[in-house]
Amino acid sequence: MNSATRAVAEIVSGIAPFDALEQQHVAESLTWLAATDDVFRRVKPATPPRHLVSYVVMVDPEARAVLLGHHRLAELWLPTGGHVDPGEHPLETARRETAEEVGVSADFTVTGTDPLFLTITATNGPDSHEDVSLWYVIRGDHTRRYALDAREFSSERWCGIDGFGIANTDPHFRRFLAKLNITLARS
């Protein structure tokens, strides 16, 4: 296992699963990481057919709200984030994607610099592949307007954590919110 893959395996090992599905995703990710160093997307959209993503969910914990953007390509309401570049540490990806897509420096003071959540998701479309996504949390302010990167997102909106009502989002987003809710209640 090369050093970049080893660093990712250490991150994944540190995630406390929220439920049985996340426990399964963590175990499957660790098995995958032990079997290959080909874990970074090399060619868009699907080479290799499973690769790493860093989601970056902006949260206003006081307002109990998250910022989502309507992603042009996926046609879903998604958090910011993107593919981990070859050899890049996923935390650096989270910082880079925040700067590129939101135009601010990432503030990890909500839950810390470790990802809160991990998912494995099959994408839709003719170039379907699997994203192994590490979900980072950054602090935001729902009273501030953040202009998400117009090349990636057509619009943005703050959504309440309680009573989240968007249907067309990542299939694991509600589970992420449930884990975030428990984490926020503890802090």
Domains of the chain by start residue, with CATH = 3-186 (3.90.79.10)
Given a contact cutoff of 8 angstroms between Cβ atoms, the answer to whether 159 and 64 are in contact is no
**Tokens for 63?**
């307002």
Give the β-pairing of 50-60 and 130-139.
parallel
Q: What is the C-alpha separation between 101 and 141, in angstroms, rounded? A: 16
Nearest to 93 by CA among 135, 127, 154: 135
The per-residue pLDDT for 163 is 85
Beta bridge partners of 66: 59, 159
Q: What is the C-alpha separation between 155 and 128, in angstroms, rounded? A: 24
Nearest to 136 by CA among 111, 164, 161: 111
The per-residue pLDDT for 187 is 79
The per-residue pLDDT for 36 is 96
Does this model's pTM top 0.75? My answer is yes
The per-residue pLDDT for 45 is 87
Q: What is the C-alpha separation between 106 and 91, in angstroms, rounded? A: 10
The per-residue pLDDT for 126 is 76
Separation in Å, CA 57 to CA 69, 128, 172 = 10, 23, 13
How confident is the prediction along the chain (187 residues), in pLDDT tens digits per residue?
999 999 999 999 999 999 999 999 999 999 999 999 999 999 988 899 999 999 999 999 999 999 999 999 889 999 999 999 999 999 999 999 999 999 999 999 999 999 999 999 998 777 889 999 999 999 999 999 998 999 999 999 999 999 898 989 999 999 999 999 999 998 7
The per-residue pLDDT for 125 is 72
Beta bridge partners of 83: 53
